Structure formats: C-alpha cells, structure tokens
Amino acid sequence: MHFCNGPNFYSMEVITMTEWEKMVSGQLYNSEADALKELRLHCKRLCHTCNHLSPDQDEERTALLRQLLGKTGEHFHIEPTFWCDYGKNISLGEYFYSNHNLVILDCAPVTFGDHVLVAPNCGFYTAGHPLDAPTRNAALEYAKPIIVGDDVWIGGNVTVLPGVTIGSNVVIGAGSVVVHDIPSHVVAVGNPCRPIKMLEAPVNSAPASFAGDNAFSCGCTTHS
C-alpha cells in the first residue's frame, strides 16, 4: 500500500503485485497463474534441449545455460540432466561445477558463490507449501531463497530446503538434508544436517584447472 499525505488531504493507493513479485518476495502466490506457467514452460524447453545435446556439444550446452540462468561466471559446467523451474533466479559464481541430475526449484533466488562443487543427484528447493490443506489445495505456495557461499563441496544425494544459507569453506556429507543454516568452515552431515567438524580457513582458492576444461580433480566423488 502507498500512502500520500498532503496539507489538506489523505489518500491511499493500492498497488497490486504480480504473482511473480509475490513469489520472489516470499509471499503466498498462485503457482498456477498463466504468466508463471508460461515462464516454467519456456524454462523446461531450454532444459530439455540442453539435456538432449550430445556429450561433445559442450559449447552449445553452455550457451543455452547462459541464456537460461540469471547469472553465471565465466567458467562453469553443469552435467546433464539438469532441471529448474525458471532459471532466471539462479546465480552461479566462478568455477561452479555440478555432476548429473541437479534439480533447482528456483521460485526464489538461489545463489552459489565461487568454487562450488555439487555431486550427483542433488536438489535445491526454494518452494514450500502451506501446512493448511485447503490453502495448499488452492495452488497457493511460497518460496524462500537459498544461498551457498564460496569453496563449498556438496556431496551426493544432498537436499537443501527453503530458506537455507550455507557458509563458505563447507563440506556437506552425502545424503544430508539441510534444513537449517550451516556456518562457514565446517563439515556438516546428517538429517537434519549438523556441523561435526571444524575446518581451517583456506589461504586462497586456486583456479588452475576446472571440470569444464576436462582437467579438474579434487580427490572426491563428484565426478562420474
């Protein structure tokens, strides 16, 4: 609502928000609104095209992903298959790498820092549904942003839920369900995911080699 005050009058103007604006601001929104359905369909078409390119068509896949995603670094690589809802709410830092079967439900912004590794079969879900059944059945949803810092390794089959922030210099153990924020400089595992070990802060991050250049190696299982 917008209020206008003057010396002799008081007026009120109601500003109507679009369903997109409600969605990205964390309010309840109608997920079946025509405008949102059309955006999702456009996104799925691009994902489908990316996922069906030949493995040797890296340049074509990267070009399509740059068209799909809101922001990327100069160097990034996402193995097929990859699915998301809108694409434009996803931001990738430099040297982002994801192995196969990444799913990002980006109804709210999803932001990854630099040097993030994501193992196979991981999901980042900003979407949530009301506990109240009648409200849920009316196609009303909400979304909360997800933030991942720099120098993060996400193990295989990890699920990150709405509203979570993962700090920098973090390792998330395979199979974890990340329900709460994870601080920087820790190894965290479990369901719900909790820190179990402290890590020393890195001196620097060396971008000498990269998975997208077929030269990356980190001694971990993020590569098939």
Q: What is the per-residue pLDDT for 202?
A: 81
* Residue 86 phi, psi dihedral angles, 5° rounding: -130, -30
Confidence of residue 70 (pLDDT cuts 50, 70, 90): very high
pLDDT in tens, 95-104: 999 999 999 9
Gap between the Cα atoms of 128 and 151, Å rounded:
27
Planar angle of CA 53, 58, 64, nearest 5 degrees: 70
- What are the residues facing 14 on neighbouring strands? none
Domains and CATH numbers, the chain: 19-201 (2.160.10.10)
Q: Return the number of other C-beta atoms located less than 10 Å from residue 184's C-beta.
A: 16
- Strand residue runs (E) in 14-155: 29-30, 76-78, 82-84, 90-91, 96-98, 102-105, 110-112, 116-118, 123-125, 127-128, 140-143, 146-148, 152-154
What is this structure's pTM? Answer: 0.85
Q: Which amino acids are annotated catalytic?
A: 129
Write out pLDDT tens, residues 126-177: 999 999 999 999 999 999 999 999 999 999 999 999 999 999 999 999 999 9
Question: What single-letter amino acid sits at 216?
Answer: F
* Residue 14 reports pLDDT greater than 60: no
Instruction: Assess whether pLDDT exceeds 50 at residue 53.
Output: yes
123 pLDDT exceeds 70?
yes
69-83, 176-190, 208-222: range with lowest mean pLDDT? 208-222
Least reliable range by pLDDT among 82-91, 130-139, 176-185, 209-218: 209-218
Confidence of residue 7 (pLDDT cuts 50, 70, 90): very low
